[in-house]
Amino acid sequence: MAACAAVAANALALSQARARLEPEHWKKERGCGQVAHERISSKEGLAMEAAVRKLAVRLPEVTEQVDGFGHTSFRVSDKPFVIMGEGGADGPALSFKVLKTTQEILLAQEHFYKTPYIGQHGWVSIRAQHIADYDMLADYLLEGYLCAAPKRLVKQVQANAQAQ
């Protein structure tokens, strides 16, 4: 236990030293300011997180994970299908994986945008302030889940949908 605490203290000290040595413009260019590494904490962000959690946990074998950047993700078989972050001055954002055809349709609509760095893989984002009703996103989250899930879970979800 003491060894873990020492490693954590060393990691924190290294991170703080690196932050002091980096020029301020590097931090801004890379998005490495304090806000980028904070966990979701705003009222709007927490409401978004709770609403998405309610939708995501209905699906089989979904796990929730917070990464080193403070992004909350929902995963199946350790593959993310939803990622949320505080987003700095622009406010919290929700990103989700969809099929390329769905991505094209969403990008043609107001407020949706291609997720930076991973948009070429079918990821779409929207700011929390532009989400009127999280239930309208349920089908997109399901689509993302089905894109990331192993075949056995896809079959299970499809069988459950047909039974209803």
| Average pLDDT per 10 consecutive residues for the chain, totaling 164 residues | 47 48 42 58 96 97 95 97 92 97 97 96 97 94 97 95 87
Distance CA 79, CA 69 (A): 17
Give pairs for 99-107: CB < 8 Å, separation 24+. Answer: 99/143, 99/147, 102/140, 102/143, 106/140
Distance CA 8, CA 132 (A): 41
The single residue listed with the structure tokens 């796990």 is 63
For the packed helices 138-148 and 151-163, what is the interaxial angle rounded to 10 degrees?
140
Contacts of 89 (CB under 8 A, 6+ apart): 35
Distance CA 130, CA 120 (A): 22
In this structure, are residues 61 and 76 in contact, taking their beta carbons and an 8 Å threshold? yes
Give CA separation, 5 vs 11, 12, 69, 102, 149, in Å: 10, 10, 21, 46, 36
